[in-house]
Amino acid sequence: MTTVTATNAPLRKFIAMNAPIKNDRIEWLQGPSADGTVKCPPVPAERNNSWRLILLGAPGVGKGTQAELLTERLGACHLSTGDVFRAAGKRKDCDQSPAMKAAMEYMRRGELVPDSTVWEMVRERSHCILDCGGFILDGFPRTIGQAESLRELMENAQLSLSAVINYELPLDEIVRRLSGRRTCEKCKSVFHVTERPPKVEAVCDRCGGRLFQREDDRPESVTVRLEAYERSTSPLIQFYKNLGLLLPIVAKGSPDEILARTMEKMAHLDKE
């Protein structure tokens, strides 16, 4: 186990995990239940390191893949807003609110879901951000408005971000990654038909679930998503740079190489 310190933060630890964390993020994916029965397992004390990270980068750059790997190393919970919308989309029609039904349409077209819907959903799940032993936010915030809402939520709870990791990759490589992506319908693990293939075709290595191609990975939706990223999300790079939180990472190479580059930069957080 290596221990590092980071500016404005308590002592932080990188954990060498022998086995992947069994965390199905049920509270994040399903949202709070009225009877309190939807609960994630308690966070073991040795994994409660309070890493609070945001992953930025264009659609398909590899945020979800890195979030899974970082979760195994840091013990923080992988919180993806895209996964919440996709989980909601799988529910029976009558269990979906009108706002959620509208969100599905935005997603299919590749457009951003309105800030008010996204924030309502995140606010309902704020327990996962504030009380769950650290987080890796993937796909949120995506606009300056969302970033301001998150800042207010965290400031009110006297919490600060550890860093904002910005993954950078040329456009042609991004499009190649998106077109070959396959996702597990059960545990949401991410594969690629050639770069990260499952051991058995179309079957998840982790849970045996069926792998599917996302509807918004069709070429016409990909173009819209990349435009939305340029217009609404890329300004967050400067926003977090101004706050002294940005860690730019080149996202070329294998997932393990990118993870190693990320951990190396994070280990130097307190020295920069």
Catalytic residue list? 63, 142, 181, 214, 225
Beta carbons within 10 angstroms of residue 141's beta carbon: 25
Strand, helix or coil for residue 180? coil
Q: In what side-by-side order are the strands of the sheet with 52-56?
A: 77-80, 135-138, 52-56, 163-168, 246-250
Interface with ligand AP5, residue 78, by CB under 6 A: no
Interface with ligand AP5, residue 110, by CB under 6 A: yes
Tell me which amino acid residue 160 is.
Answer: S
Stretch that binds ligand AP5, among 4-12, 28-36, 158-166, 251-259 (CB under 6 A): 251-259
Interface with ligand AP5, residue 135, by CB under 6 A: no
Q: Which of 14, 28, 51, 85 binds ligand AP5 (CB under 6 A)?
A: 85
Distance CA 261, CA 73 (A): 13
Distance CA 187, CA 7 (A): 34
| Pair 182, 191: CB distance under 8 Å | yes
Strand, helix or coil for residue 162? coil
Name the minimum Å distance from CB 62 to ligand AP5.
Answer: 3
Give the nearer residue to ligand AP5 in terms of CB position, either 163 or 211.
Answer: 211
Q: Which long-range contacts (CB under 8 A, 24 or more apart) does 213-216 make?
A: 213/181, 213/182, 213/183, 214/86, 214/181, 214/183, 215/107, 215/108, 216/107, 216/108, 216/110
In the bound complex, which residue of the shown chain has the CB atom lying closest to ligand AP5? 82
Stretch that binds ligand AP5, among 11-19, 203-211, 236-244, 252-260 (CB under 6 A): 252-260
Please name the residue that has the structure tokens 């069709």: 218
Interface with ligand AP5, residue 60, by CB under 6 A: yes
Name the minimum Å distance from CB 181 to ligand AP5.
Answer: 3
Interface with ligand AP5, residue 226, by CB under 6 A: no
The 156-195 site mask, x for binding ligand AP5 (CB under 6 A), equals: ---------------------xx-xx--------xxx--x
The contact set with ligand AP5 (CB under 6 A) reads 57, 59-65, 80-82, 85, 106-107, 110-113, 118, 139-140, 142, 146, 177-178, 180-181, 190-192, 195-196, 216, 225, 254-255, 258
